Structure 1
Amino acid sequence: MKCTVTSLMAAAAASLFLAGASLQAMDRSKIPDQDKWNLSDIYPTDDAWESAKKDLEKRLPEVERYKGKLGSSPKELLACMNLLFDLKKEFARLATYASQKSDLDVRDARAMEMRQSLDPLGAEFGAKTAWVDPEILEIPSAKIEAFLKEEPGLAIYKPVIEDIIRLKPHTLSPAEEKIMADASLVSGTPDSVYSVFSDAENPRATVTLSNGETVKLDASAYTKYRAVPNRWDREAVFQAFFGNLDQFKGTYGALLNGEVDKDLFFAKARHYKDCLSSALDGPNIPTVVYTNLLKNVHKNLPTLWRYLKLRQRIMGLDQLRYSDLYAPIIKEVDEKYTADQAKELVLKAVAPLGQDYVEVLRNGYAHRWVDFYPSPGKHSGAYSNGAAYDVHPFMLLNFNGSYEDVSTLAHESGHTMHSYYSNKTQPFPTSDYTIFVAEVASTCNENLLMDYMLKHTDSDAMKLYLLGSYVDNLRQTLFRQAQFAEFELKIHQMVESGQPLTGENLNKAYAAIIDQYYGVPQGITEINPVCYSEWAFIPHFYYNFYVYSYATSITASTAISQMIMEGKPEAVKNYRKFLTLGNSLPPVEELKVAGVDMTTDAPFDITMKAMNRAMDQMEAILDKMDARKKAAPSGK
C-alpha cells in the first residue's frame, strides 16, 4: 500500500484516539485492522470452517477400523496413531477458530453456536477413541519395544506411548473410558456458564468518580480504574465491583461447586486419592512441587509484608488498603503507551534472545497475531492460543495503554514464541507444552522488559516506578497466584470432605487466606470485607489446578533470566533449546535443559533474593529523595 503523509497522520491520530478511548470498550469497527485478529489465517470463511467440521465428522469413524488390531503389527499401530493425531490436529484448529471468534464478542449467538457445536463432536471424538489407550496397554512391553525399533515412523509417538504406559493404573476399561469421554458433554458447563455470565450477562455495577464521570464496571473497566491515582475513586471502584460479585455470590458459588464436583468425579473414577493428585499426574508433576510452593511462600511472607510496607511509605499512607495495591506507586510517573510503542519496547527488551526471535515476533505483530483493544462483549483479560498447529499463535489483549499492559504484551508474546518454536520444531504429538512450563517463557519476557526499562532511564522516580512494578509483579505472579493456588486446594479439600461450596463458605475460605497473606492481623493491610468475594472474579478456578504454575514458573524464569542478563555462558542457547521442546520430555527435565532444577529450592531462593535486592534499591532511592527534600531551602 502506498504510504502518504495523510495516511501516517491518520494512523497517528488513530493511535492517540485509541489510547485515550481505551478507558472503556469501543466499537470494533473503529479499531484499525492491524490491531485485530485475522481469523481467515485459520479458515478463510465460516463456511470453510463448517466444511472442515463436516469432513472431520465423516473421518472420525475410520479410527474404529483399527480396533483390535493395534498389537498385530507396527504398521497397524502407526496407521492408527497417524489418523488419530491428524484428527486431533484438525479438531484443535476447528476449536481455535470457533473459540477465537466467540471471544471477540461473547454475545455473538452464531459464534457461540459454532463453539458449542464442538462439544458433542469432542465427546464423540473421545468416545470413538476411548479404546485406544486400553488397547495399547494390552500390548506386552517387549512387543512395544520391538514395534518402536522395527517401525521408524513410530518414533514421534514414543513419548505419547510411554505416557500412556505411565498412566496405566488410572486407565479404565474401554467401556469405562467411553463413559468418561461421554461425560465431557456436561463437564464443561460450569466454565461455559461462568464465562457467559461474567463477560456478557452480569448487570455490572456503575460508579461515579470524583470528576463526575460515570463508568460501567465490566472486567476491563475494573482493571483500568482500580489503578487511578485518586484513592476515593479506587475505594469506590472496589466497593462497586466486588459488591456486584457479592450480590451474585450464590450463583458464582453454585458454578464453582459444579466445577469442583466435576474434578472430584474424574479423580474418583480414575482411582486417584484426591483432586490434586489427579490434576498433576497428567503432566507428570509430583504433588510435593505444589505443597512445597505453598510452604516456601508461607515461610517468605515477611518478604511480601516488607514490600507492602514499602508501598505504604512511597504512597505516603497512614494505613495501606487492599484497594491501594494497583495504584501507581509513584504519583509523578504516569506513563502511557500506544500499541505501537508497546510493540517496540517489547521487541527491544527481548533482543538478548537473538535477532531471529525478534524478527519472528515483529512479523507476528505486523501480521495481526494480536487483538489489542477492549470492545463490547470481548472476552476479558489476556491470553495466547497456539493450538492451531499449522497456522500461528493468537494473542488476545485488552490494551489500556498502561505499563502493566506493555508488560502483559511481553508476557503473552513469551507464550506465543514458546508455542511458535515448539510447533515449528516438534511434530504435532509432542508440540503442546505442559502447564508446568507454560508460564516460564511469558514471565521470562516480563523480566527482560523490566531489565531493559531500568537500563534506559536516568530518572530516580522512573526507576522507583519500574522497580516497584517489578516487585509488585512478583507479588501478583508469585504470592497472589500462590494465594489462589492455596484457595483452589482448600475448596477441593472442602468438597472432598463433603462440605458444600456456597457463596458464604467461599467468602469465608477466601477471607482466611488473603488476611494471612496480606498481614491483616499484623495491621499491615486493611481489607474491606466486600473484597472477600474476589474469588468470583478469577476464571482460573475453572482450569483444574492451573494457577500454581504461574508461581512455580516465575521462580524458574527468574533463575533463567538472571543467567541471561548476567551473560552466563550457554544461557541463551539453553533457553532457546527449552523453547523448542514442546512436551517431548517430562517438564522437570525440560527445565533442566534451560539450566534450572525445580526439584531444589534454588529457583525460589534466587527469586526471593531478586525481590529483596530490588527493594534494597528502592529504599536507597527513597532515602536519597528524602535527603534532597530535607536539604532543599524552606518554601522551595
Structure 2
Amino acid sequence: MHKNEWNLKDLFEDEKALKLCLEKSIEQSLKFRRDYEGKLGLLDSSKFTKALKTYEQILQNISKIMSYVYLHFAGDTSKGGFLAKYENECKKAEENLIFFELEFCELDEEKSAEFIKNLSEYAFYLSNLLKNKKHNLTQKEERIMLYLSNTGANAFSRLFDENMSRLRVSFEGKSLSEEEMLSKLYNEDRKIRKKAAKKFSKALKANLDLNTYVFNMIKSERKIVCELRGYENAEESRHISNQITQKSVDALIKTTEKHFDLVSLFYKKKKQILGFKNLKDYDRYAPIGKEISVKYEQSKELVLKAFNAFSPEFANIAKKAFDERWIDVYPRENKRGGAFSHSTTPDAHPYIMLNFTGRHRDLFTLAHELGHTIHQKLSYSVNFLSQDTPLTTAETASVFAEMLVFDFVKDRLSKEELVGVYASKIEDVFATLYRQINFTTFERRIHEHKEELKSEQINEIWLEESKKMFGESVILTQNYELWWSYIPHFIHSPFYCYAYAYAQLLVLALYGLYKSKACENFTSLYIDLLKSGGSKSPKELISSFGFDIEDENFWELGIKEVEKLINEFMELKI
C-alpha cells in the first residue's frame, strides 16, 4: 500500500478480523434484545446504565465495521458489492437494537427523568430522544424502515456514486475524471476553461436522465418519510438532527440573500481586472495575480505551521494524520470524487479523503478536512453516543482551519501572489456561504413539488436560483443549467448544504473575535467547544463566546467579516 493511501489496518487487520467483529456484534445484539426488550421500565438506574453502555458498545462496533467497508468503497467504487454485503449483515444487529430508544421514549416521565439525572454524561442524548419521540414509528414499522433503507435512498446514493466515479471526459488526448475536469476551470487560459465547461456539460448531459431519476427518487422517499413520521416539511428532520430551529435557518437565509450585492461587487472588480467585457460562469475561478501551485509536501508544512501558531494540540493531531496514513491523497481510477473526513470510533481515528491535484485551493481543502479530523478526534473525549456533532457545528472547525491557513499564508506572499490568494479565498467564502444558500433554496423548490420533475424543470429552477446570487455580474450560460446534477449532497444528504453557510458565518464571527483579541481565553474555549462533540446544543456551545445564534443580528457579524475581506481585496493595488 502506498504511503499516500489509507492504512485501514488501524480499523481491522484483514477481512477475517472484520467478519469476527460482525459475528460478535450480531451475537451481542441478540443477547441484548433477550435481556432487555420489554423490560426497561423494570430496571433501576444502575441496571439501566449497564444496558445503555452495552447498547453503546454494540453500536460502536457496528460503526467501526461500516467505516471500514465504506472507506474501501470510497477508495474503489467498483467494490459496491462488498459494501452492500456488510450493510445488509449489519442490519441484522441493528434490528435487535431498535427497541431500546423506542422503549426509553415510552417510559413514564418520572422514570425517564430519574435515568437522565443519574446519567449526566448522556443527559443531552437521552433528552433529545424524548424531545423528538413524536416522530417515532412503532417497533415493527421501524424494522421495516431499517430493512428497506438499503434499497431506497441509500441504494440510489450508491448508484449515483458509482456512476459519477466512472465518469470520464476526453480532454486534449487524456481521459479525465470529474475532479480533474473541474480543476480546468481554474486554468489561466480562457479557451481551456470554456472548453472544459463545455466538455464537462456534455458528459453531464449524457448522464442527465439517470441523475434526474435518482434525484426524483430521493425526493419521493423523503416525502413518504415525512408523511410517515409527521414532519411538517422536507427539511424539518435535518433541522432536528442539526439541533437548530427553522427560525434560525430562515434568519440565516434571509440575512445572506440580503447581501448578494457583495457577490456582484467582487465579480465586477474581477471582470475589470481580467479585462473582459462579460464574465461567464466558466470565468468565475479564473486566476488573477500570480498563480501559485502547491505540492502536497509543501501544503503539509504550511498547514502544520499555521495550526501550531494557533494551538500545538491542533498541530499534533494533524501531524499524526500525516505520519500515520490517515489520509488518501491523490485521484485514481474508481476513487470517489471530492473530499471528506470520516470519523470512525474512539479506539481508531478519523480518515481523510482528498483528490489533490496541486492547485493552491487544494491547500485549503487539506486544511478544511484536517479541521474536521481535529474536531472528530477531540470529540472522542465524550461518549460514543454523544460524539457526533450536528452539521451546523461539524463544519465549524473545518472553516476555522481554512482561515488559520489563509492568514498564515497571506502574510508570506508577494503582492502579485496576494491578489490571487485573496480572490481565491473570497471565492471559497462565496462557495461555502452564498452558493450553499442557493443550493438550499433550490432544494426547497424541488421538494415542494409532489410529482416527479423533468430534467428541464430542474434545470430551470437551478438557473433561476443561481442567478439570484450573481445578479448581472456573471452570465450563466445554457450549459450551466445542468450543473446541479453532479452535486452529491442533494443525493446523499438533502438539506445538508445550509450547514456550510451556517458554519461559515458562525466561524467568521468567531474568527473576528479571535483576531480582535477581545477574548483572552479564546483558544481554550474553542478547543473545549470541539471536545464537546454533540453533547451540547449549538446554541449552548456558542453562548460561551457571548453570542446568541437565535438573534438575527448575530449573522450580520459574519457578513461584516465577508465585507471586510472584500474591502481588503478592493484596496489591493493591482
TM-score bin, normalised by smaller chain: over 0.9
Change in Cα spacing, 1:421 to 1:485, as seen in structure 2 (3 Å) is same
Q: Aligned-pair distance for 1:58?
A: 2.2
Q: For 1:193, which of 138, 159, 164 is the aligned residue?
A: 159
Change in Cα spacing, 1:596 to 1:442, as seen in structure 2 (3 Å) is farther
SS at match of 2:430: helix
Q: Aligned-pair distance for 1:360?
A: 2.2
Q: Aligned-pair distance for 1:595?
A: 4.6
1:203-258 superposed Cα distances (whole Å, 9 cap, x missing partner): x33133xxxxx232421211221111110111111011012112321111100111
Q: Does structure 1 residue 313 correspond to structure 2 residue 272?
A: yes
Q: Does structure 1 residue 280 correspond to structure 2 residue 270?
A: no
SS at match of 1:327: coil
Q: Structure 2: give runs of 5+ residues left out of the alignment.
A: none
Q: For 2:249, which of 274, 290, 293 is the aligned residue?
A: 290
Q: Does structure 1 residue 593 correspond to structure 2 residue 544?
A: yes
Q: Does structure 1 residue 97 correspond to structure 2 residue 68?
A: yes
Q: Distance in 2 between matches of 1:80 and 1:296?
A: 46
Q: Map 1:350-389 to 2 at 5 A.
A: 350-389=307-346
The alignment's C-alpha RMSD in Å is 1.7
Q: Distance in 2 between matches of 1:77 and 1:372?
A: 44
1:306-345 superposed Cα distances (whole Å, 9 cap, x missing partner): 0111111122211101001122122xx1211221110111
Q: TM-score, normalised by structure 2?
A: 0.95
Aligned length: 569
SS at match of 1:463: helix
SS at match of 1:216: strand
Letter of the 1:190 partner, please give it: F
Q: Does structure 1 residue 417 correspond to structure 2 residue 366?
A: no
Change in Cα spacing, 1:455 to 1:316, as seen in structure 2 (3 Å) is same
Q: Aligned-pair distance for 1:366?
A: 1.1
Larger mean CA deviation between 137-146 and 406-415 belongs to 137-146
Q: Distance in 2 between matches of 1:291 and 1:126?
A: 35
The equivalent of 2:416 in structure 1 is: 461
The equivalent of 1:53 in structure 2 is: 22
Letter of the 1:255 partner, please give it: V
1:519-576 superposed Cα distances (whole Å, 9 cap, x missing partner): 1xx3x21121111111111001121211110001010111112222232312112111
The equivalent of 2:132 in structure 1 is: 167
Q: Aligned-pair distance for 1:594?
A: 4.6
Letter of the 2:484 partner, please give it: W
Q: Distance in 2 between matches of 1:405 and 1:144?
A: 49
Q: Distance in 2 between matches of 1:34 and 1:119?
A: 29
Indicate if the aligned counterparts of 1:69 and 1:77 stay in contact, CA closer than 8 A.
no
The equivalent of 1:477 in structure 2 is: 432
Indicate if the aligned counterparts of 1:437 and 1:591 stay in contact, CA closer than 8 A.
no
The equivalent of 2:555 in structure 1 is: 604
1:354-383 superposed Cα distances (whole Å, 9 cap, x missing partner): 212212211221111111111111111100
Q: For 1:541, which of 480, 490, 493 is the aligned residue?
A: 490
Q: Distance in 2 between matches of 1:122 and 1:306?
A: 52
Indicate if the aligned counterparts of 1:350 and 1:448 stay in contact, CA closer than 8 A.
yes
Q: Does structure 1 residue 555 correspond to structure 2 residue 524?
A: no
Indicate if the aligned counterparts of 1:410 and 1:449 stay in contact, CA closer than 8 A.
yes
Letter of the 1:555 partner, please give it: L
Q: Aligned-pair distance for 1:387?
A: 2.3
SS at match of 1:526: coil
Q: Map 1:185-224 to 2 at 5 A.
A: 185-187=150-152, 188-200=154-166, 202=167, 204-208=168-172, 214-224=173-183
Indicate if the aligned counterparts of 2:169 and 2:181 stay in contact, CA closer than 8 A.
no
Q: Aligned-pair distance for 1:45?
A: 1.1
The equivalent of 1:68 in structure 2 is: 38
SS at match of 1:206: strand
Q: Does structure 1 residue 509 correspond to structure 2 residue 479?
A: no
Q: Structure 1: give runs of 5+ residues left out of the alignment.
A: 1-28, 209-213, 626-636
Q: TM-score, normalised by structure 1?
A: 0.86
- Structure 1 segments (4+ residues) deviating >6 Å: none
Q: For 2:517, which of 549, 567, 583 is the aligned residue?
A: 567
SS at match of 1:320: coil
SS at match of 1:501: coil
Q: For 1:448, which of 404, 428, 434 is the aligned residue?
A: 404
Q: For 1:80, which of 51, 55, 80 is the aligned residue?
A: 51
Q: Aligned-pair distance for 1:264?
A: 1.4
The equivalent of 1:25 in structure 2 is: none
Q: Distance in 2 between matches of 1:595 and 1:455?
A: 30
Q: Map 1:425-440 to 2 at 5 A.
A: 425-440=381-396
Q: Does structure 1 residue 500 correspond to structure 2 residue 452?
A: yes
SS at match of 1:395: strand
1:596-633 superposed Cα distances (whole Å, 9 cap, x missing partner): 432123443223222222222222223xx4xxxxxxxx
Tell me the percent identity.
23
Letter of the 1:443 partner, please give it: V
Q: Distance in 2 between matches of 1:590 and 1:166?
A: 19
Indicate if the aligned counterparts of 1:63 and 1:84 stay in contact, CA closer than 8 A.
yes
Change in Cα spacing, 1:131 to 1:228, as seen in structure 2 (3 Å) is same
Q: Distance in 1 between matches of 2:150 and 2:104?
A: 25
